[in-house]
A = this chain, B = another copy of it.
Amino acid sequence: MDTADVKNRARRSSGRPTLADVASRAGVGTITVSRALRDPERVSVDLRTRIFAAIDALGYVLNPNASALASARADVIGVLVPSLTNNVFAEVLRGIHDGLRDSRLQIQFGNTHYSEEEEERLVRMFLSQHPSGLIVSGIDQTPATRALLEKAGCPVVQIMEVGPDPVDMMVGFSHFEGGRTVTQHLLDAGCRRIGFLGARMDPRSHRRLSGYRSVMEAADCFDLSLVTTTTLPSSVSMGGELFKTAFAKTPDLDALVCNNDDLAMGVLFACHRAGLDVPGRISLAGFNDLEMMSVAFPSITSIRTPRFEIGHQAIAMVQAAMSGERPSEPVVDLGFELKVRESTSRANTQNI
């Protein structure tokens, strides 16, 4: 019965077993095998057992390309982040991967390098595969990207921030409030000449800066010369350099709010090197609460941001949407937490 069959198949087959091989070995139709794989509940236990036995015996693995073509849906979730150097996004990715355990979904991941054009290109590329979901960073897509996302035909989650107008769903926290909270903490601790250091100055950094500014203005402490930023990438050494610039401009600084922890760490080292006591002479706070902040000497006050949780939640939202559940609230604010540590201990803020 299969002479003709063999003659026909020999031409281009990859040599690997196919669904049809499994089906004939198990004595069922191909579609039943497909169902046993995608939705086991819909196949009787009896057949299911035989089918899985055949799969094991043949070492069958489903061909995801054929599956994606036939169903116009790839078991892939596209993830776009602006950077990998940045520890923060590595943890988001970890959260995403963790949320994906025991799922057949794959992550396809792209690095936009903080470029909106690159983001648009990647969204286009990802959409061409008909992904099951898309996760993008931030809320500042170009109009063209936004239009692409709106007709993506799959769940879309914007992560890291919350805002009023989600493409589909959103999970993050308010960088503006984060900036406010850490600045207010420094004011409460008695600091007045509180500088702001920022690198990269992507939209999220700007919103943190706005938070800083709003609190400083309310306290009548704002002074533009207290703000030192660069569009260059953030790094520990950049923290040191920004500190030098800031200290030269405003030597009466009594505290620094850093746009992120890398910078804060750079400031700490620079202060050590310059013999400036932290927090005795200068109080110091970071943003994100990387693991090292709590063990630094002195330990450094920071805003703990729910990076892992954001990834986890984003995947949960994608999966829920895939099974038809619409979230009651499409925007999830995971908040943040101020971690007060030695670097802003108020006992030392008197001597200014």
Binary contact readout A221-246 vs B (1 if CB under 8 angstroms, 0 otherwise):
00000000000000111001000000
Query: B65 near A235 (CB under 8 angstroms)?
Result: no
A125–B72 Cα distance when bound, in Å, is: 20
Chain B binder among A40-48, A82-90, A170-178, A317-325: A82-90
Decide yes or no: A72 and B12 within 8 Å by CB, A85-B90, A90-B84, A129-B64 being known contacts.
Answer: yes
- Among A77-102, those with CB < 8 Å from B are 84-85, 87, 90-91, 93-94, 97
* A347 is an interface residue with CB less than 8 A from chain B: no
Query: Which residues on the B side are within 8 Å of A295 (C-beta)?
Result: 236-237, 240, 266, 269-270
Any B CB within 8 A of the CB of A296: yes
Chain A residues bordering chain B, tally (CB within 8 A): 49
Interface membership of A114, Cβ < 8 A: no
Whole-angstrom distance between the alpha carbons of A272 and B296 in the complex? 9
A340 within 8 A of B: no
Which positions in A face B, CB cutoff 8 Å?
12, 14, 61-66, 68-69, 72, 74, 84-85, 87, 90-91, 93-94, 97, 106-111, 124-125, 127-130, 235-237, 240, 262, 265-266, 269-270, 272-273, 291-292, 294-297
A-B contact pairs, 5 of them (CB 8 A): A63-B129, A85-B94, A90-B90, A93-B111, A270-B297
